[in-house]
Amino acid sequence: MSTVSSVSIQSEDDLLKLSTCRTYRPNHRLPDRLVEYKGGQRFWQRLSLALAFVSIILTLVVLCVSFFLWIEVSRRIADEEGDLSCPAVETEIDGIELYKNQSSPFTDLSEKEIRNIETFLHAQEWLALQSHDIAEVHSNYVHLVELLPPKKKDVLSYLDGTGPRPPRMARAFVFRGNHSDPIIEEYVVGPLPNPTTINLVETTSRKTRVPYSMRPFSSYEFKAVYKSVLPGVLKKAGKLLKESYNASMFDCGNQCLKFSLTPISSGFLEPGKRKAWFWFAYDVEFYTLHPLDFQFLVDMSLRDPRNWSVERVFYANQLFSTLDELLDKYETNLINKTRTTFPEVPAEDQYSAVYMRGKPIPSEARPPPQQIQPMGPRFQLRGNLLEYMDWKLNLRISPTVGLHLYDVKYRGERILYELSMQEIGVLYSGHSPAASMLYFADSAGLFGTRMRGMMPGVDCPEHALLQDALVYTSNTGGLKRLENSVCIFEHSPETPLRRHRAYSKSGAFYSALNDHVLVIRMYICIINYDYVFDFVLHNNGAVEVKVSSTGYLAASFYYPEEESFGTRISETVVAGLHHHLFHFKADVDVKGTSNRFHTMDIGTENKTDSWADNPTRTHVQNFFKKVEKRSEKEAVSHYNFDEPKYLLFYKNEKTELGHTPSYRLINKGMTKGMLPPGIGFEPSMSWGRQQLAVTKHKDDEMTSSSMFAIWDAQDPVVNFKKYIEDDENIVDEDLVAWVTLGMYHIPQTENVPNTATVGTTQSFFLTPFNYFREDPSLASRDAVKVMPKNPARPLEGASVDRHGLRPYFKCHSEKVDERLNSNSTFLFS
């Protein structure tokens, strides 16, 4: 409480100054001049003024006390009504179990179903399966189990009430490394929950018996490398590694090496071969930014790891035919030698480590703005069925592909049967062997198993609903729960979906609607990269798919020859140019499954201006024409700035205005693949040749790629170009859009240690086009309409219509830090 010696109130402004929440306490002893006797009248005048002054002060004190009481009462009322406050609400952050709704044909396998499948497969003696705890790379074991989606027509018949519920089936990939002819086979197992049959999948759309040399990496293969390859290399080259890099791999204390590898696609090898370049890096945070220049080629073609062999070796910018040749020339000083030292600075000062450095910003520890959910979520999730505003859809987590959206409906009409990510391709460039051969099809890592837990308030808003997923692969030792691997939240990007302010004496108004959206998010973490995938539902019937790249740069040891391929980020390290490509599947159903695809091609016409006084004057303007695509080959879209066009999926029926109800595809992330078709690694990613392909739906054309794509360029397991080359009719057919996004990335030093998401986001939209008679967002209560009380005098007051809503301010905070202190499995498992 403040104390002043006197208070002078001479005007209304003085009273206003006192009406703040400070209490003024004048001295209890009145000034002598106020009690000095100068005659009766003067005495009573001064006494009256003094009493009035004291009365005013007491009144102000009462007002301030009342104000504080009013604030406290309002705060308590707000706590009860969900207004104004930020209560600390402790909420369990474990996920909702998506696999509980077994009546849905899109529901993932439950734990019981997976256990029953595992038991059933191991009971098949002819498979001779090993359990995951004792299996080796050349054993027979179950690599993957996941739901096999039923045929689309059967699902639609069931959903429409005209057919039975399709039986639940699963597909299982069995690695038969101990077979006389090592092979990988895809089986269909069912019916669930208690399977009784197993059959090899028969289809011409993909290979279901895959050569063992094309297997994706597994935990067993890495164990074999540690057991059968690295000890021999380290035994021979240990002295070279210690002298060159001041580190070793085993018994190394705090100066250790970490190995990684570059797989070589079969497109560069003779048939049946499986090889990879191995390379070392310093084992610090983060190792890909500390590569060294010792690389060796390993032939892993034979099924028994004890027979794997080291072939060529790269060291100090020189290639040697054998490890022995390198060591002989090293010992006799016939070659250049590399000399680097293990990073000696504290971890928090290493350029590759993420610690706060520099002058803190902001200077005061003030939190950033937060979006809030004042009265709880406006969406519902029951099992895997998600409802939001006019949207309804089903979620599924596939171990191979990750997050799927199925049966996506808006206002009761199916817009999409399926929406999912298919493949991530990363094509690096470089000088050294490992850098120049670094072509990744990340599906080898099984996207669904690479989904990881999210940090509330960072990876997702604090109010997001976090969910778990169940996956079964050999890489996870069988069944594993991925905690907090999907999050759902409503979000306002604070960009109006629509907005207008008009002003005139007869027509002033303001109308606006912020674009509140529902976001379904997953993160996929693969080696050095974290990918953020958002599936976004807008309130005008549009669907948006976004992907951003973040994480760490991949790098190589610096030589002058690397200058054309990357950016030097330290004295000995260069980060390479790379091309990111993402492929998506959108099974579009516009008012049913009988659709067409056409473009509206925008051109320029030059004609005589018939409205001009001078009949010879010409006029140039744009126009468009509709071009219907009748076959899959015609429907391939290669973006060309000289030929802008709209891409439209539509039902061949007319509205009362003569339009065809359509959904427009807008690609905001065009990229062009530069690898020559059919050469080297490129056949594994033939889907990247165009920005859009449209094909007739076929149940067996499930995906555009496979987990074998990192190796299989010589003879792709899934050859996407064949989806187009059979050139099916696409007029009045069930159509699927295959969308390619991507970008080239030349690293920059200011992005070290991390690559940033800013500028890396790619997206595409499916948005209604002549689909609705008027904007469906007109039904949204989130809109605001402001009208003048008197249209003739719009500046003299206006009425605000919030359609029954009022501003709320309430925070929702999770006790995340406390949980992490004792249990961090959802982030690091």
- Establish if 530 belongs to a structural domain: no
Q: According to the model, what pLDDT value does residue 60 have? A: 66
Cβ–Cβ contacts within 10 Å for residue 473, how many?
25
- Establish if 406 belongs to a structural domain: no
C-alpha distances in angstroms, 452 versus 487, 527, 803?
11, 13, 40
Bridge partners, residue 173, by sequence: 144, 186
pTM greater than the 0.85 cutoff: yes
- Establish if 73 belongs to a structural domain: yes
| Residue 598: both structure tokens together | 């056409």
- Establish if 32 belongs to a structural domain: yes
Q: Work out how many domains the chain is built from and give that number.
A: 1
Q: Are 536 and 543 in contact (CB under 8 A)?
A: yes
Rounded CA separation 703/215 (Å): 18
- Establish if 75 belongs to a structural domain: yes
Rounded CA separation 449/452 (Å): 8
Kindly write down the DSSP assignment for every residue of 425-457, as one continuous string. EEEE--SSHHHHT-EEEGGGG-GGGGB----BT
Residues of the chain with pLDDT under 70: 1-45, 47-48, 50-55, 58-96, 99-102, 505-506, 807-822, 824-829
Rounded CA separation 581/185 (Å): 28
- Establish if 378 belongs to a structural domain: no
SS3 content of the chain, % helix, strand, coil (to 5): 20, 35, 45
Q: Among 402, 485, 388, 468, which Cα is nearest to 97's?
A: 468
Cβ–Cβ contacts within 10 Å for residue 339, how many?
9
Cβ–Cβ contacts within 10 Å for residue 342, how many?
16
Q: According to the model, what pLDDT value does residue 35 have? A: 36
Rounded CA separation 213/289 (Å): 30
- Establish if 16 belongs to a structural domain: yes
Domain that holds residue 57: 12-81
- Establish if 538 belongs to a structural domain: no
- List, by residue number, the catalytic residues: 442, 529
Q: According to the model, what pLDDT value does residue 503 have? A: 79
Q: According to the model, what pLDDT value does residue 98 have? A: 74
